[in-house]
């Protein structure tokens, strides 16, 4: 009987729904959002991982961060899709250190271009970033907790 299973579920539901667990509905919505973003962008997990690594490489020049905790996610914001990047920053690097690292890199690039042996690494990464629809970096200064997606 439909009716009695309904009543049973109602009564049981009343006792069950006390904890703040993720509901089946929320799980479905969240999983779908992630999977649809991947479907829509044609970015498979391997490519996403590559993007993650390249971002870490790029950003480590400027800040010291918890590389393991870096989160990269797509989010839907109305009509637009956003790439959300959440990085727990351990320590802001001192200016001199950043500049030194950049100079070193430049020198390395020049050497490489003089030799004309291989392609430059950094501009390529930059370009790839520019291609993404929207990049929002959650973390700018001190530690930022990765927000729930």
Three-class secondary structure of residue 120 per DSSP: coil
The residue written with tokens 């993650």 in the block is 52
Environment class of residue 82 by beta-carbon count within 10 Å: exposed (0-12), middle (13-18) or buried (19+)? middle
Token reading at 65: 């961060």
Q: What does the binding site for another protein look like in residue numbers (CB under 8 A)?
A: 2-3, 6-7, 9-10, 13, 17, 23-26, 28-29, 31-33, 35-36, 39-40, 76, 79
The nearest distance, CB 76 to another protein, in angstroms, is 8
Nearer to another protein, 39 or 124 (CB): 39
The nearest distance, CB 18 to another protein, in angstroms, is 13
- The CA distance from 64 to 92, in Å, is 6
Nearer to another protein, 34 or 90 (CB): 34
The nearest distance, CB 90 to another protein, in angstroms, is 36
């Amino acid at each position: 009987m439909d009716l009695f299973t309904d009543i049973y579920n109602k009564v049981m539901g009343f006792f069950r729904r006390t904890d703040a667990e993720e509901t089946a509905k929320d799980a479905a919505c969240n999983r779908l959002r992630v999977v649809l973003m991947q479907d829509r962008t044609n970015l498979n997990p391997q490519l996403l991982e590559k993007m993650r690594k390249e971002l870490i490489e790029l950003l480590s020049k400027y800040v010291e961060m918890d590389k393991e905790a870096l989160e990269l996610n797509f989010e839907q914001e109305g009509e637009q899709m956003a790439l959300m990047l959440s990085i727990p920053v351990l320590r802001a690097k001192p200016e001199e250190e950043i500049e030194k690292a950049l100079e070193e890199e430049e020198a390395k690039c020049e050497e490489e271009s003089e030799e004309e042996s291989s392609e430059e690494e950094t501009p390529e990464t930059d370009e790839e970033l520019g291609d993404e629809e929207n990049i929002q970096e959650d973390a700018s200064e001190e530690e930022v907790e990765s927000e729930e997606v």
